[in-house]
Amino acid sequence: MNLLFSSMFLYEYSTDMIARACNLAEYDGVEFWIETPHFWIDRSPEKLDCFADLELAFHAPVLDLNPVSVNNELCEISLKETLYTIALASKKKAKLVTIHAGKRSAYREPVWADYLSLHKYLRIASKFSKLKGVNLCLENSEQRINNLCKTAREIKEFVELYDLSLTFDIKHSLDNAEEFYGLIERFRNVHVSNSDEDRRHVQASKSERVAKVLKDLSDLGYDGFITVELDDLGIGNLDFGKKVEILKEEGNFIWKFFKK
């Protein structure tokens, strides 16, 4: 098992500082959100050189984007940014790229047109990822009415059809995590966090329900990436040192389930 954390927890810091936090908190690597401002502002590949000795995963851009939007131009730019991330992952030898399925533009149940857009997005992205030798992981979506791929049934349909791996987000499916266990052979990344009253990603170490899922995954033999995914806005006003301290605490909490 390799322990990572999402770079979005250090959203305001440079990539060098994110890499430093990884070393100080004694993690194996980073899941780097491409939209991290220090990188995103000019997309200079050299800014990622600090991760060369770390385990590296990428999260494709999702902020302000939607691959199944009713706006076709937004669909196109969402696909373009995913393909960019896949190409960058190949260049920087990142182990995987996590993507989102998107959501219906209206806050209503998805309809056939939304799924048609998702098929197009995944068909192109999956073919490109195979050409680039990049492991593409579809993430189970949050439990909101307009999200696609929020159920194990939908996830199974799409990952099997397009031969994708899976990033399993515990917080997104905390009430029905067991339904996803049948897909564990496709798990390559697990996002670990708990949910606060505003659905923000907060410390898993404070949740017995998250602990149960982690124990289940360990018992099932999961041995891939485990990624601590935290939203500092749900925790409080934190400086760099405090963020490193929290990462250490969360890492220690996770390791106790996977150390044999």
Return the CATH number at 137: 3.20.20.150
Question: Which residues on neighbouring strands pair with residue 187, listed in sequence order?
Answer: 166
Number of domains in the chain: 1
Please give the pLDDT value at position 152. Answer: 97
- 3-state SS of the chain: helix, strand, coil percent to 5? 50, 15, 35
Regarding beta strands 55-59 and 225-228, do their DSSP bridges make them parallel or antiparallel, or are they unpaired?
Answer: unpaired
Burial class for 42, CB neighbours closer than 10 Å (0-12, 13-18, 19+):
exposed
Q: Which domain holds residue 229?
A: 2-258
Task: State how far the alpha carbon of 224 is from the alpha carbons of 19, 83, 127, 232, in Å.
Answer: 20, 24, 23, 25
Q: pLDDT (tens digit, 9 = 90+) per residue, 188-216?
A: 999 999 977 777 888 999 899 999 999 99
Which tops the pLDDT comparison, 255 or 197? 255
- Decide: 228 and 254 in contact? Cβ < 8 Å: yes
Render pLDDT for 12-44 as a digit per residue (tens, 0 to 9): 999 999 999 999 999 999 999 999 999 999 999
pTM over cut 0.75: yes
Number of H helices, E strands in the chain: 7, 10
Of the pLDDT bands very low, low, confident and very high (cuts 50, 70, 90), residue 225 is very high
